[in-house]
Amino acid sequence: MEMDSQENTTRKSILFVDDEPKVLNGLERMLRPMRNVWTMSFAESSQKALEILKDSHFDVVVTDIRMPVMNGLQLLSEVKRLYPDTVRIILSGESDRELTMKAVNVSHQFLNKPCDTEILKAAISRIGDLSTLLQKDSIKAMVSRVDSLPSLPSLYVEIMRELQSNDSSIRKIGDIISRDLAMTAKILQLVNSSYFSLPRHISSPEQAVFLLGLDTIKSLVLSIQVFSQFKLKNMPVDYLKRLWDHSMLTAASSKKIATQERQDQVVIDNSFMAGLLHDSGKLVMASCFSDRYAEVVSMAEGSRLLTEKERELFDVTHAEAGAYLMGLWGLPYPIIEAIAFHHSPGRANTKQFTPLTAVYIANILEGQKAEYFTDRSQLAVDHEYMAAMQLKAAYPFWDMPEPDRLKEASAHEQ
């Protein structure tokens, strides 16, 4: 499964770490068919793994948690510090809840041991596909370091107040998280990976919160600090508010479009969450590039496209950065695809309706209705892609002159 039509032929280097020789031998035997695709190394301790890492670059480190002298969490902390572009995966049968909690901020994904061969191969292969989004190791390193995305200050204060209350409500907490794209992204990382062995398909942020439970959410937020507040002072406050509002509206429209197209419930659910997260890369860029990104946002509000300026200054766009991080966090592929190509759906390797289709249409519809979009070329329609989708619902405004199209789009959504 590739993120783009360009074939990714680079061999990936994987380092497996476990203190049990039988486990390492089993992994080596189980993954022997992948020798022509991956370069694999095996280490029986964290110390040995660090020695190997000094001599060779690895794309992925897969480690157990409980090991003598230096455990897997300590190893991944060192990997994060020394080799930040390396993807960090835990493969463990560890059921210690405290250790699992601590794993959240040092690993990108958590897989249960014993792990089905196909699940392990799929997880690592998808990371290889993600690398086509970000070509520079320096950019990968910056994005890979991101533990959490910054939340809207007002919602961060609201969630902290609710969690510290003596009568916290799981329903209120779910509602707050569902209104914040940063909190939603982090919660989906936790439930879509195997940190807490929850169902693979999650229909909504609220359901994810309910499944995690009040005690787990409190520990994650208050002790592990999986959420963070937006503190970039130079970022225009009105821009942040618009970003959150646009994300919520796009999510609602994406869900409505998928429903109108009579898609199954999984596609509808993923369309909503992809719509909510489609611009998450803007938070990734703000986290990685700090005040420089605030300058780009200010400049891009004129005649130039934001994505053009991002590419010019950072060699990456918010769509690519957001998709890369969400992919590292193990979110479902249809959501990653929608984030990656929501401005350029023709680049995706799909010829049927997916959450990308819903998000692409919804993003244009909501952009057309928003007064702050001063550059309408951002909203140009890919007619070839739209024709290939053979949509069931009526979207008659694609070929209209702009004033008529805007009027019709508003009427269609009411």
pLDDT tens column, 63-84: 999 999 999 999 999 999 999 9
Kindly state whether residues 255 and 373 are assigned to the same domain: yes
Q: What pLDDT, on a 0 to 100 scale, did the predictor assign at position 377?
A: 45
Residue 4 lies in a domain: no
Kindly state whether residues 409 and 269 are assigned to the same domain: yes
Q: What pLDDT, on a 0 to 100 scale, did the predictor assign at position 296?
A: 85
Tally the domains of the chain. Answer: 3
Query: Per the structure block, which two tokens stand in for 298?
Result: 């200010």
Residue 142 lies in a domain: no
Predicted TM-score of the model (pTM): 0.88
- Cα 280 to Cα 20, 113, 358, 400: the distances in Å are 40, 31, 17, 31
Name the phi and psi angles at 40, rounded to 5: -115, 140
CB burial readout 366-380, b (16+ within 10 A) else e: bbbeeeebeeeebbe
Q: What pLDDT, on a 0 to 100 scale, did the predictor assign at position 399?
A: 43
298: pLDDT confidence band, cut at 50, 70 and 90? confident
Residue 251 lies in a domain: yes
Q: What pLDDT, on a 0 to 100 scale, did the predictor assign at position 207?
A: 93
CATH number for the domain that contains residue 125: 3.40.50.2300
Q: What pLDDT, on a 0 to 100 scale, did the predictor assign at position 400?
A: 41
Residue 127 lies in a domain: yes
Residue 147 lies in a domain: no
Kindly state whether residues 284 and 190 are assigned to the same domain: no
What is the C-alpha separation between 215 and 327, in angstroms, rounded? 27
CATH number for the domain that contains residue 242: 1.10.3210.10
Start-to-end Cα distance in the chain: 38
Q: What pLDDT, on a 0 to 100 scale, did the predictor assign at position 232?
A: 65
The angle subtended at Cα 303 by Cα 249 and Cα 409, nearest 5°, is 35
Please check the confidence at residue 303 and state whether its pLDDT lies above 70.
no
Helix (H, G, I), strand (E, B) or coil at 90: strand
- Cα 267 to Cα 4, 6, 259, 327: the distances in Å are 21, 26, 9, 18
Q: What pLDDT, on a 0 to 100 scale, did the predictor assign at position 6?
A: 40
Kindly report the average pLDDT of the chain as a whole number: 86
Kindly state whether residues 120 and 191 are assigned to the same domain: no
Question: What percentage of residues in the chain have a pLDDT greater than 90?
Answer: 61
Query: Per the structure block, which two tokens stand in for 31?
Result: 């993954």
Residue with more model confidence, 395 or 286: 286
Structural domain ending residue among the three candidates 132, 166, 189: 132
Long-range interactions of 302-309: CB distance < 8 A, separation 24+: 302/374, 302/375, 303/374, 303/375, 304/375, 305/375, 305/377, 305/378, 306/378, 307/343, 307/378
Structural domain ending residue among the three candidates 188, 211, 229: 229
Kindly state whether residues 115 and 225 are assigned to the same domain: no
Residue 184 lies in a domain: yes
319: pLDDT confidence band, cut at 50, 70 and 90? very high
Residue 322 lies in a domain: yes
Please check the confidence at residue 366 and state whether its pLDDT lies above 70.
yes
- Counting Cα atoms < 13 Å in the Cβ hemisphere of 10 gives 13
What is the C-alpha separation between 88 and 77, in angstroms, rounded? 9
Of 145-149, 199-203, 298-302, the poorest mean pLDDT is in 298-302
Residues 6+ apart with CB under 8 A from 172: 162
pLDDT digits (tens, 9 = 90+) for 98-116: 888 889 999 999 998 888 8
Residues 6+ apart with CB under 8 A from 314: 139, 285, 289, 293
Kindly state whether residues 280 and 359 are assigned to the same domain: yes
Helix (H) or strand (E) holding 129: helix 117-130
Q: What pLDDT, on a 0 to 100 scale, did the predictor assign at position 231?
A: 75
What is the C-alpha separation between 395 and 403, in angstroms, rounded? 15
Residue 145 lies in a domain: no
What is the torsional sign of CA 373, 407, 397, 366? positive
- Across residues 35-47, what is the average pLDDT? 95
Most confident of 278-292, 304-318, 372-386: 278-292
Contact yes or no for 135/315 (Cβ under 8 A): yes
Contact yes or no for 228/169 (Cβ under 8 A): no
Kindly state whether residues 283 and 381 are assigned to the same domain: yes
pLDDT digits (tens, 9 = 90+) for 206-247: 999 999 999 999 999 998 899 998 876 677 767 788 899 999
CB burial readout 178-211, b (16+ within 10 A) else e: bbbbbbbbbbbbbbbbbbbebeeebebbbbbbbe
87: pLDDT confidence band, cut at 50, 70 and 90? very high
- Containing structural domain, residue 67: 12-132
Contact yes or no for 381/344 (Cβ under 8 A): no
Q: What pLDDT, on a 0 to 100 scale, did the predictor assign at position 221?
A: 94
What is the C-alpha separation between 257 and 272, in angstroms, rounded? 10
- Across residues 36-64, what is the average pLDDT? 96
C-alpha closest to that of 88 among 103, 70, 71, 68:
103
What is the C-alpha separation between 219 and 142, in angstroms, rounded? 27
What is the C-alpha separation between 408 and 402, in angstroms, rounded? 10
Contact yes or no for 277/247 (Cβ under 8 A): yes
Structural domain ending residue among the three candidates 229, 257, 292: 229
Q: What pLDDT, on a 0 to 100 scale, did the predictor assign at position 372?
A: 52
Query: Per the structure block, which two tokens stand in for 42?
Result: 């095996």
Q: What pLDDT, on a 0 to 100 scale, did the predictor assign at position 97?
A: 77
